[in-house]
Amino acid sequence: MTQTEIARVTGAYLALIASCSGSDLDQDHDLDLKVLDQDQIRSDPESEEQDVETKFRTLAAKYGIDLEDVELSTIERNMFWFVNNLDTIRYPAAYIRKMVRDCGVRRRVGFQPPERKAEDSEEKETTEIYGYPVEELDQLASFLDNRTYSAISAVLPSSSRILFRSLEDVRSSRAKTRVFLAEGKKRGVL
């Protein structure tokens, strides 16, 4: 393009811009009704999609189909059609099953604690600590004094000494007493 052609095109654009801005009396586009209507239209389909999924899940529950862990985002159009044409469907339960058979499992976001098995939920009684019977450790607890505490504490690694700071701390819990005495037996002090 030559400079003359560029000048003509630029002039045409400037004239077009001037004519558009001159005829637009309402310079505040935020208050323009067309923009408000577009925003309203934009937000409606999102809430409608949520409503369709909720309606679909409610209808599925009504027909005895549990969709709690089913990801339905892949069949949005099918759900919309189903909800709007429910009266034309002869066997809705079969239709729902066929629709969701290829859907995946809903992913859970964030930290999910592991489900506890029935075996884990029952507290198991501790019978041994480091291979030493608990009854034997309980009998040794009556002999725990400052001299025994000092002897066991001297052979413990520094990381373990943090758990057993003082004789009173060890005696404050039966579990700590048992573990402390088991450490003493394990290390040959008792």
Q: Where are the domains of the chain?
A: 31-107, 128-186
Full-model pTM: 0.38
Q: How far is CA 87 from CA 16, 57, 117, in A?
A: 54, 17, 44
Q: Which residues of the chain have pLDDT under 50?
A: 32, 35-36, 39, 41-43, 121
For the chain, helix, strand, coil in percent to 5 are: 65, 5, 35
Per-residue confidence (pLDDT) for residue 80, from 0 to 100:
92
Per-residue confidence (pLDDT) for residue 35, from 0 to 100:
47
Treating both helix axes as pointing N-terminal to C-terminal, what angle do 146-155 and 174-186 enclose, rounded to 10 degrees?
60
Per-residue confidence (pLDDT) for residue 7, from 0 to 100:
78
Per-residue confidence (pLDDT) for residue 46, from 0 to 100:
52
Q: How far is CA 184 from CA 76, 115, 134, 147, 172, in A?
A: 66, 37, 14, 12, 18
Helix and strand element counts for the chain (H, E): 10, 2
